[in-house]
């Protein structure tokens, strides 16, 4: 006989785990189902940022010079698989459309309602999970190799501050050297986003949140989310389970289930890579650092210095092609004294993206008690806990902290 739950949450990344915790805290009996232990897919590899400053989601460039540079497929921040471009084209056209400045600004006004709670919701969950030591409350930095780019980015930060209260410090080259003495090269200063947090081990944080979920009485099960059937039933290693409600929070694989159920949602992926390095000698990196002109990030992690790449456009399950990592590694070594590689091979992750740059959060309109929570793009780690809270509030009929309307499924 199948075991029964109030809700089955499909997906053991930061979003799915956060939803499971919040539902369990509200008295629902929850099964969390994934093919791996929590935090071992997309949530494993990221720059570890909780981006309070991220009120404007990453737009598609509309500058002709940048587009031509990307078209040559040699850029350090964006690469693509030529054979994948025909299937990507409809998504990219819609992405470009929504990136028009006025539309992008309107999107930011909705998106900021989620972003403004990202740090506080993470800190609350981390405290409950006994994982506060994994979160650093010291912000992160963009560093600049040219005064022109520095000034452009500073104007953006000033606008974000005026519109949304984004906190930042503008650092000249001397002040930057005081804060990050191991950085090298003729840097022209930095922007320090002081209200954002960072994570020393994203996998450990998601694991801690999953541990809280189980401590609250929830059950994690290895299973095959693609076996979901209206009812709602799912096959797991311990047999079939039944639930009154189901939540699809499978990140870049969410469309496998949503499409099977008859939904045509515009989900694409941006792939990315990371590699860990031992620092040379006594070199220390105190903050995550984005090399703006070259489109990569270095972050101090428990495993070493994590180098993360920009965007690779390719089919979700295509083999690894870590050309960007190969291209930016020597550049990163000019910024910080990276030692030997720590990992056996580069890690590949996939960011689930929608063309309007906002996640899909809310009830599925054609099925009763089916909910979607995916499409968080570059901000999955950032928005996991606030998404979890919002979904749990909607499912239990509580007043939501954030208006869910801009993120509704039927906007597409």
Counting DSSP H helices and E strands in the chain, the numbers are 11, 21
- Can you tell me the mean pLDDT for 52-78? 91
- Can you tell me the mean pLDDT for 1-8? 91
What's the pLDDT score for residue 42? Answer: 83
For residue 1, pLDDT beyond 80 = no
252: domain CATH number?
3.50.50.60
**Pairing of β 233-236 and β 289-291:** unpaired
pLDDT digits (tens, 9 = 90+) for 194-207: 999 999 999 999 99
What's the pLDDT score for residue 241? Answer: 96
| Domain assignment of residue 387, yes or no | yes
What's the pLDDT score for residue 58? Answer: 94
pLDDT digits (tens, 9 = 90+) for 205-239: 999 999 999 999 999 999 999 999 999 999 999 99
What's the pLDDT score for residue 299? Answer: 98
| Domain assignment of residue 102, yes or no | no
- Higher per-residue confidence, 67 vs 30: 30
What's the pLDDT score for residue 256? Answer: 96
What's the pLDDT score for residue 90? Answer: 95
Contact 230, 66 (CB under 8 A): no
Contact 196, 381 (CB under 8 A): no
Structural domain boundaries enclosing 368 = 3-46+118-139+202-267+355-411
pLDDT digits (tens, 9 = 90+) for 183-194: 998 999 999 999
- Global confidence as pTM: 0.96
What's the pLDDT score for residue 24? Answer: 98
Q: Give me the phi and psi of 265, to 5 degrees please.
A: -105, 140
pLDDT digits (tens, 9 = 90+) for 100-140: 999 999 999 999 999 999 999 999 999 999 999 999 999 99
| Domain assignment of residue 346, yes or no | no
Residue indicated by tokens 């739950």 = 5
Total count of domains within the chain:
1
What's the pLDDT score for residue 9? Answer: 98
pLDDT digits (tens, 9 = 90+) for 361-386: 999 999 999 999 999 999 999 999 99
| Domain assignment of residue 344, yes or no | no
| Domain assignment of residue 66, yes or no | no
Handedness of CA 48, 104, 112, 391 (dihedral sign): negative
């Amino acid at each position: 006989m199948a075991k029964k739950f109030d809700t089955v949450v499909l997906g053991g990344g930061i979003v799915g785990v956060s939803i499971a915790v919040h539902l369990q805290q509200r008295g629902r009996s929850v099964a969390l189902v994934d093919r791996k232990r929590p935090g071992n897919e997309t949530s494993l590899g990221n720059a570890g940022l909780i981006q309070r400053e991220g009120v404007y989601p990453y737009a598609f460039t509309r500058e002709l010079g940048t587009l031509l540079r990307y078209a040559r497929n040699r850029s350090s921040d964006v690469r693509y698989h030529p054979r994948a471009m025909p299937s990507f084209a409809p998504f990219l056209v819609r992405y470009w459309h929504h990136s028009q400045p006025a539309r992008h600004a309107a999107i930011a006004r909705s998106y900021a309602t989620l972003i403004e709670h990202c740090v506080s919701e993470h800190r609350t969950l981390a405290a409950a999970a006994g994982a506060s030591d994994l979160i650093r409350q010291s912000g992160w930095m963009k560093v600049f190799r040219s005064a022109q780019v520095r000034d452009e980015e500073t104007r953006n930060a000033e606008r974000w501050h005026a519109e949304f209260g984004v906190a930042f410090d503008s650092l000249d080259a001397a002040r930057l050297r005081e804060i990050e003495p191991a950085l090298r090269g003729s840097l022209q200063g930095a922007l320090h986003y002081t209200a954002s947090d960072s994570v020393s081990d994203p996998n450990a944080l998601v694991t801690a949140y999953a541990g809280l979920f189980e401590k609250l009485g929830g059950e994690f099960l290895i299973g095959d989310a693609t076996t979901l059937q209206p009812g709602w039933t799912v096959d797991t290693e311990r047999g079939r389970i039944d639930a009154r409600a189901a939540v699809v929070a499978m990140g870049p694989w969410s469309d496998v289930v949503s499409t099977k159920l008859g939904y045509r949602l515009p989900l694409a992926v941006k792939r990315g890579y990371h590699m860990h390095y031992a620092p040379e000698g006594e070199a220390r990196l105190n903050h995550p650092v984005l090399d703006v002109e070259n489109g990569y990030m270095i972050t101090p992690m428990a495993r070493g210095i994590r180098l993360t790449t920009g965007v690779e456009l390719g089919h979700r399950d295509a083999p690894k092609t870590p050309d960007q990592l190969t291209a930016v590694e020597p550049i990163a070594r000019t910024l910080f004294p990276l030692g030997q590689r720590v990992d056996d091979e580069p890690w590949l992750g996939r960011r689930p993206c929608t063309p309007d740059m906002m996640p899909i959060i809310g009830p599925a309109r054609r099925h009763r008690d089916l909910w979607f929570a995916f499409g968080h793009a570059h901000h999955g780690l950032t928005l996991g806990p606030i998404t979890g809270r919002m979904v749990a509030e909607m499912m239990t009929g509580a007043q939501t902290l954030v208006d869910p309307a801009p993120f509704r499924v039927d906007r597409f």
